[in-house]
Amino acid sequence: MAILVVGSIALDTIETPFGKREDILGGSATYFSYAASFFDKVCLVGVVGEDFPQEHIDLLKSRWINTEGLQVIKGKTFRWIGSYEGDMDIATTHSTCLNVFETFQPIIPKKYRDLDIVFLANIDPDLQIGVLSQVNKPRLTICDTMNLWISIKKDSLTKLLGMVDIAVMNEGEARMYANTPNLIKAARHVLKQGPKYVVIKKGENGAMIMSDQFFFTMPGFPIEDVRDPTGAGDTFAGGFVGYLSKSGKVDKASLKKALVYGSVMAAFNVEDFSLDRMKRLDDREIEDRYLEYVNLTNFHF
Amino acid sequence: MAILVVGSIALDTIETPFGKREDILGGSATYFSYAASFFDKVCLVGVVGEDFPQEHIDLLKSRWINTEGLQVIKGKTFRWIGSYEGDMDIATTHSTCLNVFETFQPIIPKKYRDLDIVFLANIDPDLQIGVLSQVNKPRLTICDTMNLWISIKKDSLTKLLGMVDIAVMNEGEARMYANTPNLIKAARHVLKQGPKYVVIKKGENGAMIMSDQFFFTMPGFPIEDVRDPTGAGDTFAGGFVGYLSKSGKVDKASLKKALVYGSVMAAFNVEDFSLDRMKRLDDREIEDRYLEYVNLTNFHF
Is A298 within 8 Å of chain B by CB? Answer: yes
- Which residue of chain A is at minimal alpha-carbon distance from B85? A181
Q: Work out the minimum CA distance from B258 to partner chain A, whole angstroms.
A: 10
Using a CB-CB cut-off of 8 Å, the residues of chain B touching A182 are 87, 224-226
CB contact under 8 A, B206 and A219: yes
A14-60 tens-digit pLDDT:
999 999 999 999 999 999 999 999 999 999 999 999 999 999 999 99
Band (pLDDT 50/70/90 cuts) for residue A88 is confident
- For A206, name the nearest residue in chain B, comparing CA atoms only: B219
Does B226 contact chain A (CB < 8 Å)?
A: yes
B134 SS3 class: coil
**Of A156, A188, A164, A162, nearest in space to A174 by CA:** A188
ipTM for this model: 0.86
Work out whether the CA dihedral B268, B269, B271, B276 comes out positive or negative.
positive
In this predicted structure, what is the pLDDT of residue B300? Answer: 74
Strand B91-97's sheet: what is its strand order? B19-26, B10-16, B79-84, B91-97
Residues 6+ apart with CB under 8 A from A291: none
C-beta atoms surrounding B54 within 10 Å: 8
> Does residue A218 sit in helix, strand or coil?
strand
- As a whole number of angstroms, the longest Cα–Cα distance in chain B is 59
* Percentage of residues of chain A with pLDDT beyond 70: 100
B103 in contact with chain A, both atoms CB, cutoff 8 A: no
Query: Would you tell me how many other CB atoms lie within 10 Å of the CB of residue B131?
Result: 24
Do the Cβ atoms of A49 and A77 come closer than 8 Å?
yes
Q: Is residue A157 classed exposed, middle or buried when 0-12, 13-18 and 19+ CB atoms within 10 A define those classes?
A: buried
A87 — pLDDT class (breaks 50, 70, 90): confident
Q: Mutating which of A170, A176, A205, A224 best tests the B interface, going by the most B Cβ atoms within 10 A?
A: A205
What pTM does this model have? 0.92
| pLDDT in the model for residue A250 | 95
A188 pLDDT band, cuts 50/70/90, is very high
Q: Is the predicted pLDDT of residue A301 greater than 70, yes or no?
A: no
Task: Supply the pLDDT for residue A124.
Answer: 95
Answer whether A215 sits within 8 Å of B222, measured CB to CB: yes
A226 and B301 in contact by Cβ < 8 A? no
Note whether A185 contacts B: Cβ–Cβ < 8 A.
yes
How many CB atoms are closer than 10 A to CB A137?
8
Sign of the torsion formed by the C-alpha atoms of B177, B179, B181 and B185: negative
- Report the percentage of chain A scoring pLDDT > 90: 95
Q: What is the pLDDT of residues A108-159, one digit of tens each?
A: 999 999 999 999 999 999 999 999 999 999 999 999 999 999 999 999 999 9
Among B216, B217, B219, the residue with its CB nearest the CB of A217 is B219
Name every chain A residue with its beta carbon within 8 A of the beta carbon of B257: 299
Q: Which helix (H) or strand (E) holds B83?
A: strand B79-84
* The dihedral sign for the CA sequence B280, B79, B73, B111: positive
CB-CB: which of B88, B222, B298 is closest to A184? Answer: B222
Asked if A213 is an interface residue toward chain B (Cβ–Cβ < 8 A), one would say: no
Split at pLDDT 50, 70, 90, the class of A86 is: confident
Task: Report the residue of chain A nearest B186, measured CA to CA.
Answer: A224
Residue B301 is predicted with a pLDDT of 58
Q: How far apart are CA A276 and CA A269, in angstroms?
A: 8
For position A277, what pLDDT does the model report? Answer: 97
Beta-sheet strands, E only, within chain A: 2-6, 10-16, 19-26, 41-49, 66-73, 79-84, 91-97, 117-120, 140-143, 166-170, 197-201, 207-210, 215-218
> What DSSP designation does A211 have?
-
Asked if residues B111 and B135 have their Cβ atoms less than 8 Å apart, the reply is: no
Question: Residue B247 has what pLDDT?
Answer: 96
pLDDT at B297: 94
Supply the mean pLDDT for chain A: 96
The minimal CB distance from A218 to the residues B215, B225, B297 is found for B297
The mean pLDDT values, 10 residues at a time, for chain B of 301 residues are: 95 95 97 98 97 97 96 96 89 92 94 97 96 96 96 97 98 96 95 98 95 95 93 97 97 96 97 97 97 91 58
Cα-flanking dihedrals φ and ψ of residue A295, to 5°?
Answer: -65, -40
Domain boundaries, chain A: 2-297
DSSP 8-state class, residue A99 = G
- Flag whether residue B182 sits within 8 Å of chain A, measured between CB atoms: yes
CB nearest A219 (choices: B86, B218, B294): B218
Report the first-to-last Cα separation within chain B, whole angstroms.
35
Compute the residue count for chain B.
301
Q: Do A181 and B218 touch (CB under 8 A)?
A: no
Q: Which of B115, B111, B127 is nearest to B8 (CA)?
A: B127
User: Is domain B2-297 given the CATH code 3.90.1720.10 in the classification?
Assistant: no
Residue A296: closest C-alpha in chain B: B216
Question: A241 vs chain B: nearest CA distance in angstroms?
Answer: 16
B87 touches chain A (CB under 8 A): yes
3-state secondary structure of A156: helix
Chain A residues in contact with B297 (beta carbon < 8 A): 216-218, 297
| Angle, in degrees to the nearest 10, between helices A28-36 and A54-62 | 30
Chain B contact for A63 (CB, 8 A cutoff): no
With b for 16 or more beta-carbon neighbours within 10 A and e for fewer, the B158-190 pattern comes to: ebbbebbbbbbbbbbbbbbbbebebbbebbbbb
Contact assessment for residue A82 and residue A91, using Cβ atoms and an 8 Å cutoff: yes
Residues of A in contact with B255 (CB under 8 A): none
**Identity of the residue in B175, B225, B260 whose CB atom sits nearest the CB atom of A299:** B260
Cross-chain CB nearest to A181 (options B86, B220, B294): B86
Question: What pLDDT is attached to residue A299?
Answer: 85
Name chain A contacts of B213, Cβ cutoff 8 Å: none
